[in-house]
Every structure is written in C-alpha cells, then in structure tokens.
Structure 1
C-alpha cells in the first residue's frame, strides 16, 4: 500500500487547526511552533469524556511517549483520519517540525482500492508555476513512498496522471513532465526556506 505525505511549497489554502499530544519540553516546542491545541493525558481524557464531540482540530500530531495514552482514542480519531501515524510523520519526536509542515501546506495521500491516489495540489486561483511546483513536491513524495517490490522508475510506477478541479473536467498530464516538476518543486522549496 502506498501511503505518505508531501509538504507543498505553496499551500493548498485549506485552514488547519493542529492538535499536539505531548508533554513537557515537546509540548513547549509545539506551542512555540504554532500548535492550536497542546495537551497530554488531560487532552486524551477530555476527548474520551466527550466521546469525540469536542474535536475542534483538523490535524493531530503526537510525540511517541504519548502513544500508550493515544491507543485509547483509536476508535474516536481513527475513523476521522486523525490518528497519529509514523508512516505519514504525525507520530514523531520532532513535533515542532510536524506542526510547521502542517502550517506550511502538508498533505497526506494514500492509494484507494482502485489503485488511484487523490491529492489536492492547489487552488484554481494559483498560477501555473505554483501548481507545477506543488505537483513536483507530490511526485517527489510518491517516488519516496514507492514500494521496493516495484522495480524501475516513474514509468513503471505511475501509469496515468490527470489534474482537475473539484467538480471540473480532468486533463491528462504526461508522466515524463512530472520529473521536470520535481526540479521546480526543489527550487521552490529552496527559495521558501
């Protein structure tokens, strides 16, 4: 299963509220990085008491030391796609970096049962260069997430690429142009850093 995350050089524009499950120094770092909600066991208990009704965040990050407490929230956070996971970088010792990435424009992707990956890369109001750089960042993340069993490069891994607006017509993109987009993304990330 292909699953991962990409940090876009130009934000896709969706508002993000980040909750961090951490205590001590990690909690202080998360607050400094701009987390909206920071808490440890007391936050876990509050979510359990409300049976998930008090969830007012769109993303969740956790320090590994909190995993034992977080397991109890699996049935609440899991169905909403909020359960921290090391595969997508939301269960990490560096919670501050994860919060900064989410604020910057981090997206998560996974392959569905029809072998399609749906991922937002921007808004209609963005310019072509920004969309191109975001597509390159997503392509870079997809190549990093490629299973070892798939040999070869992009052509063996990606069979077809289309770009479309939410309810609009899709336009096919040549897979070979994605490699050039990877370079554009690297330049955009370097300029933004």
Structure 2
C-alpha cells in the first residue's frame, strides 16, 4: 500500500479490509474509489473452480451487456464485396476483402473486433499468430464468424462482448464505466453473472465460483459475495 499513490491510499480507506460486500455495495464502492482522473472501466474478476485444460471446462462465450461497454468499439469486416454495403450501414468501421488482407500483411490492427464469413475464414489462417494472441481471430463461439455480417456488426456495436477463462481459471470482464452509475453497472453485471451461471460445466465437482472481486482499472480491490446461486 505504501508504494501506491496518495489518491489510491485515500480511496482505499473506504473499503473495509476483510469485509465481503454485496454486488450492489461493491459497484457503488467501485464508482467511489476510482483514483484515476479519467472515466475508468469497472472490472469484474471471477475465480472459478474449473480446470481450463479440460475441454468442457474451458469456458468461452459471449454476453450482450444491456448498457454497452462505454467504449467505442471499432469493428472490421472481412467478407465478399456484395456484403460490404450492408456491413457499412450496420456500423462497420473497416470493410474489405483482398484490400483488408494487405492491411494485415502490414500488421495494421486498427480495430477491436473482426467479423468474417465462414467462407473467408481459411484466408485468415496465415494471420493466426498475428490475430490470435490479441483475441482478434474470428470465432463462432464469439459470434464473429457469421453469415449475416450486418447482424454481427450491430451486436458488437451494441455491447456484445466475449469472455473466457484464463489459465489461472479466472474470468475478467469490464461491465462499463464509472460514469454509468450504479444502476447501469448493476444491470450489466447481472447480465454477465446470469450468462456465467449458464456456462457451469455438468462435469464439475466442487464449487463453481471460488471468489468474486470488483475494481476500477487502477482502483483498489473489493471482495464481493458470490451472486451465482
């Protein structure tokens, strides 16, 4: 704590060290303990009792946050030319076919989400090492491999986000910005937890959720009661 800035130490005093808060209390505290001068993201971190090495426990899916993420999501579409116009109307920021591949050749990744048609996926194979580690490779589970690219674009723009368990069996997800306020953050968080509950593997023995924590991007950690029954 001594190594933290004065602002961090000041806001951290609002959090009782060993107390486990309700979701509503935690979200309220998160909005009050943002030490940054910018509108920080409010992040949820869930430690699960799964083994990510097991195929049926390697959780990866999407959820539509009802109030969006608070971020301007830049969406790129890699699809045949006859789909370009509808993709643009749906809000795509970058649309292309062969010209788009030339951008990838130059490692120009000026987008947050990449949508591709199933037929165009093989063409992205050579870029797996570029896109994969950055979470940009289109995936059917994420809804980014789609026949209806316009719909996929609309969903991405509206707040559809992907989450997945990492090697430490933790799921991390931003549920909005501090400026959203408690009500909108709560609606987003509940949508996420409902989605996560539905992903519980049938083969799992023992506790599904081990711990839940909330914090802003640079703020102190807040322990939360398990909201998943």
Fold match (TM-score > 0.5): yes
Contact 1:41–1:69 (CA<8 Å) still a contact in 2?
A: no
SS at match of 2:163: strand
What is the TM-score of this pair, normalised by structure 1? 0.80
- Partners of 2:98 and 2:70 lie apart in 1 by 32
SS at match of 2:103: helix
Contact 1:161–1:175 (CA<8 Å) still a contact in 2?
A: yes
Q: Say which of 38, 43, 51 aligns to 2:95.
A: 38
**Residue number in structure 2 paired with 1:142:** 196
Structure 1 segment 20-99 matched on structure 2, within 5 A? 20-48=77-105, 50=106, 52=107, 54-99=108-153
Structure 1 portions without partners, runs of 5+: 180-193
C-alpha spacing 1:21/1:146, structure 2 compared with 1 (3 Å)? farther
- Greater fraction of residues in helix: 1
Structure 2 portions without partners, runs of 5+: 1-57
Deviation at 1:59, TM superposition (A): 1.3
**Residue number in structure 2 paired with 1:8:** 65
What is the TM-score of this pair, normalised by structure 2? 0.68
C-alpha spacing 1:75/1:122, structure 2 compared with 1 (3 Å)? same
**Residue number in structure 2 paired with 1:116:** 170
SS at match of 2:125: helix
Deviations 1:95-146 (A, max 9, x none): 1122111111222211112211111001112221111100011113223333
SS at match of 1:61: strand
SS at match of 1:148: coil
If asked which structure has higher relative contact order (CA below 8 Å, sep 6+), I would say: 2
Q: How many residues align?
A: 172
- Greater fraction of residues in strand: 2
Superposed CA RMSD: 2.0
Larger radius of gyration: 2
Deviation at 1:19, TM superposition (A): 0.3
